[in-house]
Amino acid sequence: MYKVILSMGIYGDYNKARKLAKQFKIFYPLYKLYESFHCAYLPLNNTFKGPVYFPHGVRGCFFSKECEIGEGCVIMHHVTIGSNYELGTDRSLDKYGAPKIGNNVFIGAGAKIIGPITIGDNAKIGAGCVVVKDVPAGATCVMQAPRLIIK
């Protein structure tokens, strides 16, 4: 039992921590400690279709409650996968919602994926990208080249 708590604790594996917190309510406070230590928000009621890999840990990651993430995704640190709801709006409208991410998607560090969009299977999202439109399967999404603005 002690090894299970340590493996789920501050330095443990996210997938293992999530599984234990969903199965046994007693582990939920440890899961919240895990989140707070890593400055992350990863609610238990979002959908993970399989294991998700965090090579740099879950540091700074924020996931919406309604987002869906496919199997085998690789998600780097400081990623936001968020919904775009406004207070007092009808959530059934097409322009509001949370992302659906396909299988085996790579999401680079600091990427932001926001709104009711779909990221296709085997897609790659580059570091620092802000994605608000659908990305087809197998596509690579990168930021524009930096530009200088001289006054």
Instruction: Give the residue numbers annotated as catalytic, written as ranges.
Output: 77
Two tokens at 50? 């399989």
Q: Convert 38-64 to b/e letters by CB count within 10 Å (16 or more is b).
A: bebbbeeebebeeebebeeebebbbbb
Cα 44 to Cα 136: distance, rounded to the nearest angstrom = 27
The 3-class SS string of 56-125 reads: CCCCCCEECCCCEECCCCEECCCCEEECCCCCCCCCCCCCCCCCEECCCCEECCCCEEECCCEECCCCEE
Q: Assess contact for 87 and 108: CB atoms under 8 A.
A: no
What is the SS3 assignment for 53? strand
